[in-house]
Structure 1
Amino acid sequence: MEEGSVHSEPPPLPYSLHTRKKAIAIFWTIFVIDTLAQPLVLYWALWYATDLSHNLVFSIVTACLGGVSVFEYFYRLYNLFRKDSRARPLNARKSWLDFFHINFTIVWLILAVELIVGTVPEEPYVRLVAMVLPTVMFYFGGVHLSLDVLRMCGFKAPFRISSTPKGSVMPTALYVLIEDVVAVDGGGGQIYRYALRTRYLSSPYFRRMLFEMNCFWGGGSIICAAAITAIIFTVSQPVAYTLGWCLPFAWAAVWTLITIPWVQSDLRRERKAWQAGGLRGGIPYTDDINAPTPRTRFESVQAHINFLPWAREKQSPPPTPSDSRPTEDGAVDEERGEAGGGGVGREHQSTPGP
């Protein structure tokens, strides 16, 4: 970008996970105990080691479930609604919830219906109760992919989506999730919302990275949830219940281990491209989905694998001095090659997206 090129670094994000390792570790330890260990231990202990009716067993299990999530829900609600809130979306009314909390509310209502239907009968529907976490995966995966599909199709935001005003370009869903979770749950507040929005609008590469990560998590969530659902309804009930609560955590762990080095690599590439002036193009400081970007980590890996017919880049004649330019690594590549990013998976079919 022409205005951003005067800076050697992309706009910083004033938030570090390194200083919050202890708090993060405590939260996730309690969350795993509450959402994974507790329902499994109570089920196996009460179902097989007591004479309680099956209905009473699941009444106890569901009554003890989700304490951390319930606390987190009302903690977020308080932080968003309080008079002097520094966590609510930018330029939003006091009564406006952020996008994550709206979805948090909807998914809790869905789960409440699911658990009531599954536990009210005298002989509970064990398989339905085992579907709690896969349902969450289906919901958030579907919502996040839907936002990015609408974004690719050129739709504008029909209402305020956290700090993105109504009528703006539909934001990539992962950007909204990061903004809301870090600002409210992580304590980053409006300072972080503003910094993240500045980075998002300033860097096409950053937007492109978030789009690819959103597809990775959203698509992976739906595919894995479908596989877990198939397992739940084919194996025996005790195994189905156990796997229904365990496999989503296993999936999340694997996806996280893949995501960390992936994002770190892309952030290094973004910094190099910024320093080399390789982020020019598109409308400056605007969510321009057609702005060209240097090749991301995903596209580089994709180009090396190159085993799917639709993933193969079109062959073109060698570049001439008039239609070539330096890439982010200082080499010369074709106008639509390394610097322009010609791999598949673009947000826009005809021109590269951010």
Structure 2
Amino acid sequence: MEAQQGSLPEAGPDAQKEDNTRAAPEELFTRPPLEERSTEQTIRSKGLPPLKRKETKLAQKAANPWQHLGITLGLPMILLFDIVVPCIIYYTWFDKHRADWVRQCKAEFPGQGPCPIPKPEFDQNILGAAIASFGVGELWILVARVWRLFFHQEECAPLLSRNRWELDATSWVYAVAMIMALIPFVIGSSLVIPKLYLYSPSFIMGFLGTLMFITTCLPFNIPIGINSHTRGTHLRPFIYYAAEDFIAVDGLQDREFRVRYNERYESNKMFRRFFLYLTWWWILGVCVYEGAVSAVIWTLEFHYAFGLSLGVLFAYIAIWAAVTFVWTKIEMKREHKAYLAGAFDV
């Protein structure tokens, strides 16, 4: 009787599933949030080992030092003409004049000490002669870099370079730094101001340190294009630009490196933070150098300060460069591990 009154037979499981699908079709296409559907999230939730991914290597070319002999000879030229030759010129003069001074003291004031005749430390001629070799090594490197950028523009010039004369940022900074160094050299030798003369390399470091400070503490959008970055982009740390140019041009890695290098910086927060810290490390080095060389110049006699001030300069560069090299190796390994684990923050 109840069946005759229009009651329907009970639907089976398949019928109920079909009915639910028709009743709420939106439920069939609802997807979980993107972060819950990612491969990395699935791997972590299931306790699986991370994916083995291949990280793009920045410097991929096997550079041979003989490929660009001019750049390869740059460091020996700097050591020769910035340390060896000036020291030979000055100390040859000093030893000769000191020997003459000793003989004059014995002849005019026998047995008297200290000798009332002033001991010769320098004169205008020797300061001018010693300056003649300074900067030859730096000029050699600048000419070698400009030569490669000019005649191999398509290979190694910045990505924004449209003609041969649009050099990289390092070449322009290098040229200005050389001019900065010549000012105290020329004034100090012509007016016989020995302390100003010895401070000449400090002018270079002070100039570079100021640029480092501006790029880290006064970030702004650049009003002109720098290297591979268009006008209006955010200013990057000084060491970033220096490393890009040095590896691309001096390291013979060319424009392909500039592309990979820029992409790594934009996509990897660890990479960006590393260059910020590295620039601060070199700012610290400039401060340490300026303090150390000032102590040498103001506390020692000129003939001691002449050689030791140069020793302080190259010792500072050697120590900071060695630490930078080791630090970079460690950082690259750390970023590689973070990349494989998918743990770095972009």
TM exceeding 0.5: yes
Change (3 A) 1:280 1:237: closer
Task: Pick from 336, 340, 345 the counterpart of residue 271 of structure 1.
Answer: 336
Task: Name the CA distance, whole Å, in 2 between partners of 1:252 and 1:106.
Answer: 19
Change (3 A) 1:18 1:192: closer
Task: Pick from 119, 137, 156 the counterpart of residue 68 of structure 1.
Answer: 137
Alignment-derived partner of residue 201 in structure 2: 133
Task: Pick from 41, 44, 57 the counterpart of residue 12 of structure 1.
Answer: 57
Alignment-derived partner of residue 112 in structure 1: 182
Task: Pick from 135, 149, 153 the counterpart of residue 80 of structure 1.
Answer: 149
1:233 aligned counterpart, secondary structure: helix
Task: Name the CA distance, whole Å, in 1 between partners of 2:282 and 2:253.
Answer: 23
Alignment-derived partner of residue 158 in structure 2: 89
Task: Name the CA distance, whole Å, in 2 between partners of 1:19 and 1:75.
Answer: 16
Task: Pick from 220, 228, 250 the counterpart of residue 293 of structure 2.
Answer: 228
The structural deviation recorded for 1:20 is 4.4
- Letter in structure 2 aligned against 1:80: L
CA contact (8 A) 1:47 1:54 kept: no
How many residue pairs get aligned? The number is: 274
Task: Pick from 225, 228, 244 the counterpart of residue 163 of structure 1.
Answer: 228
TM-score normalised per structure 2: 0.71
Q: In the TM superposition, what whole-angstrom CA distance separates every residue of 1:65-93 from its partner, at most 9, and x where no partner exists?
A: 22221122222223333475422211223
Q: In the TM superposition, what whole-angstrom CA distance separates every residue of 1:145-165 from its partner, at most 9, and x where no partner exists?
A: 2111123xxx11221121121
- Please show how residues 336-351 of structure 1 align to structure 2 within 5 Å: none
CA contact (8 A) 1:115 1:129 kept: yes
Change (3 A) 1:54 1:100: same
The structural deviation recorded for 1:247 is 0.2
Alignment-derived partner of residue 258 in structure 1: 323
CA contact (8 A) 1:88 1:190 kept: yes
Alignment-derived partner of residue 173 in structure 2: 103
- Letter in structure 1 aligned against 2:57: P
The structural deviation recorded for 1:117 is 0.2
Alignment-derived partner of residue 330 in structure 1: none
Q: In the TM superposition, what whole-angstrom CA distance separates every residue of 1:176-235 from its partner, at most 9, and x where no partner exists?
A: 001112222232221222221122222211111111111101222133223312431232
- Letter in structure 1 aligned against 2:161: A
Alignment-derived partner of residue 29 in structure 1: 76
Deviates more, 1:219-228 or 1:77-86: 77-86
The structural deviation recorded for 1:167 is 0.6
CA contact (8 A) 1:10 1:203 kept: no
Change (3 A) 1:236 1:142: same
Larger Rg computed on CA atoms: 2
Asked if residue 42 in structure 1 is aligned to residue 89 in structure 2, the reply is: yes
Aligned residues with identical type, % of pairs: 22
- Letter in structure 2 aligned against 1:38: V
TM-score normalised per structure 1: 0.69
Alignment-derived partner of residue 303 in structure 1: none
Alignment-derived partner of residue 311 in structure 2: 246
Which ranges of structure 2 fall in alignment gaps of 5 or more residues?
1-34, 41-50, 101-119
- Letter in structure 2 aligned against 1:128: L
Task: Name the CA distance, whole Å, in 2 between partners of 1:126 and 1:56.
Answer: 12
- Letter in structure 2 aligned against 1:40: C
CA contact (8 A) 1:15 1:188 kept: yes
Task: Pick from 282, 299, 309 the counterpart of residue 217 of structure 1.
Answer: 282
**Structure ranking higher in helix proportion:** 2
2:94 aligned counterpart, secondary structure: helix
Q: In the TM superposition, what whole-angstrom CA distance separates every residue of 1:35-57 from its partner, at most 9, and x where no partner exists?
A: 12221221111233268982222
Alignment-derived partner of residue 18 in structure 2: none
Which ranges of structure 1 fall in alignment gaps of 5 or more residues?
282-354
Task: Name the CA distance, whole Å, in 2 between partners of 1:26 and 1:102.
Answer: 21
